[in-house]
Amino acid sequence: MNKQHLTDYDPAIQKAIESELNRQESGLEMIPSENFVSLAVLEALGSVLTNKYSEGYPGKRYYGGCEFIDVVEQLAIDRAKEIFGAEHVNVQPLSGAPANVACYFALLEPGDTILGMDLSHGGHLTHGHPVTSIAKVFNFVRYKTDAQGLIDMDNLRAMALEHKPKLILVGYSAYSREIDYPAIKQIADEVGAMTMADIAHIAGLIAGKQMNNPVPIFDVVSTTTHKTLRGPRGGMIMCKKDFAKKIDKAIFPGLQGGPHENNIAGKAIAFKEALEPAFVDYAKQIKANAKVLERKFNEFGYTLMFGGTDNHLLLIDVTPKGLTGAEAEKALDHAGITVNKNMIPDDPRSPMDPSGIRLGTPALTTRGMKEADMETVAVLIEQALTHHTDESVLQRVREEVKALTLQFPLYPEHR
């Protein structure tokens, strides 16, 4: 067995890790799906739990020696149930996309119709975009937002009546507004459809009691455990007891083998953190910070998709400012500000060179930034975008970004 530390055995990998840590510490991470986990979560991810195979579920494993693994996984399950009010929880999905695919196979037969959100209007690839493999298995029909940028419930109902879906799917990757789950459940009941919510982006805001919770209302709810929930990269499915066996079988043995128990331990720790009173304050601050950015970008004359934000993110059309989303992302990268280029509703441009950028506040909020800091951040972004071809301005902004981040050290104990 190699008993050397990483620094001694593989300095190339160690250097890359240190460089990434420096990038995260010295820049502004504003991709809405990114966040920073705690030291406790990092420790769990690097623990000896990674050595153990544990196919099956607590108390029903296909391998011996799982008595302590069962403790870890059951803690994760119990804590998730407490947070979201779930009847049944599966913490084994490796990420959000396989969690969604597992839900489809658990609930439906090939060829069944799913009514989900169009990607360019804030949906997700796994909600039926034609480029995905799952779109070859099920019949996806996609609804959109209205002229005001909101979900048109009358149109959604009309599409449900027309297409008679077996499943109505809500939950988004770029949509910035609250969701009326009872109204959607009523439509589903009218047409005899099951309901599914993908809360990957807003799970932490729901856990922090700052957004509506679909878990007690919908049949099945999928989520990632990173993003606003601030856990390790992974997935989770919550459902009514009636669907528990189907969901569990769809994950194992349907789509996955041995679960990653070191990751599940990280999930359990993150769920414990989400049960702390401080997590509510964190969730409130995420939204407060996003509202400051909304106000500032309106003042700067940008076009905000969906009319603004009720959650942690903003989707902004930058083309009226004379640049594309790809150009904006590149300029901000040079300035030490990380966002992602993103399509806007009915975008005439391509996904790799779209009209918009998507940015959010979870990671900056985790670092301790508040409203006054968001004022500063908004000004820095505006300067970088306005002068996106001027390297001297981008370098100056980068230095100001570094000065700001020094006030909010990321992992001082890890140094």
Contact 168, 140 (CB under 8 A): no
Q: Which of 10, 52, 53, 349 is catalytic?
A: 53
Backbone φ/ψ region at 227: left (φ over 0), alpha (ψ -120 to 50), beta: left
Q: Which residues pair with 303 in a beta bridge?
A: 317
Active site residue 53: yes
Contact 268, 352 (CB under 8 A): no
| Chain length of the chain | 415
Residue 320, Cβ density class (10 Å: 0-12 exposed, 13-18 middle, ≥19 buried): exposed
Q: Which of 233, 267, 287, 341 is catalytic?
A: 233
Consult the annotation and say whether 124 binds a ligand. Answer: yes
Q: Which of 79, 157, 177, 227 is catalytic?
A: 227
Active site residue 227: yes
Asked if residue 253 has a cis previous peptide bond (ω within 30° of 0), the answer is yes
Consult the annotation and say whether 156 binds a ligand. Answer: no
Active site residue 9: no
Q: Which of 29, 198, 317, 329 is catalytic?
A: 198
Parallel/antiparallel/unpaired status of strands 303-304 and 313-317: antiparallel
Residue 363, Cβ density class (10 Å: 0-12 exposed, 13-18 middle, ≥19 buried): buried
Consult the annotation and say whether 125 binds a ligand. Answer: yes
Round to whole Å and give the CA distance between 138 and 412.
48
Consult the annotation and say whether 387 binds a ligand. Answer: no
Q: Cα 256 vs. chain centroid, distance in angstroms?
A: 21
Q: Which of 55, 112, 178, 390 is catalytic?
A: 55
Residues annotated as catalytic are 53, 55, 198, 224, 227, 233
Q: Which residues are annotated as a binding site for (6S)-5,6,7,8-tetrahydrofolate?
A: 119, 123-125
Q: Which residues are annotated as a binding site?
A: 119, 123-125
